[in-house]
Amino acid sequence: APAVKNFTLNFTITNLQFTADLQKPSSRRFKSTEKVMYHYTDSLLQKSSIGPHFTGCRVTGFRSGRHRDDTKVDAVCSYKDNASLARFDREKLYQELSTMTDSVTTLGPYSLDRSSLYVDG
């Protein structure tokens, strides 16, 4: 069976005000924001080159950004590593995500900090 591999995905939303309850995974706000992030990140990653191998993302946390309305999103995403996936190319995936988010500016109703997208294999 193909091994499941992880990579981290980080970005900053500039129009989602960070509040203390976003630090508590048990809070209603954390859970609802997490669901929304899954909706947008999963649909993007399913359309990317790793799409057929993509198995999902898990939000590991929300953090306060530089400005009051900035919220940093940290996620761990997974894919099945098999022979039909040449190799995980984080630069290619970064480029694809950048293109799909209008040069790292938009994720659904959210505005992104253009310099905040980070993909790490």
51-100 residue pLDDT tens: 999 999 999 999 999 888 899 999 999 999 876 666 789 999 999 999 99
Q: Which tokens go with 60?
A: 């590991």
Host domain of residue 116? 3-120
pLDDT at residue 85, as a whole number: 65
Element (H, E) at 77: strand 71-81
- Count of domains forming the chain: 1
pLDDT at residue 105, as a whole number: 96
Q: What CATH number has the domain bearing residue 98?
A: 3.30.70.960
pLDDT at residue 1, as a whole number: 72
pLDDT tens digits for range 42-53: 999 999 999 999
CA 49 to chain centre: 15
| pTM of the full structure | 0.92
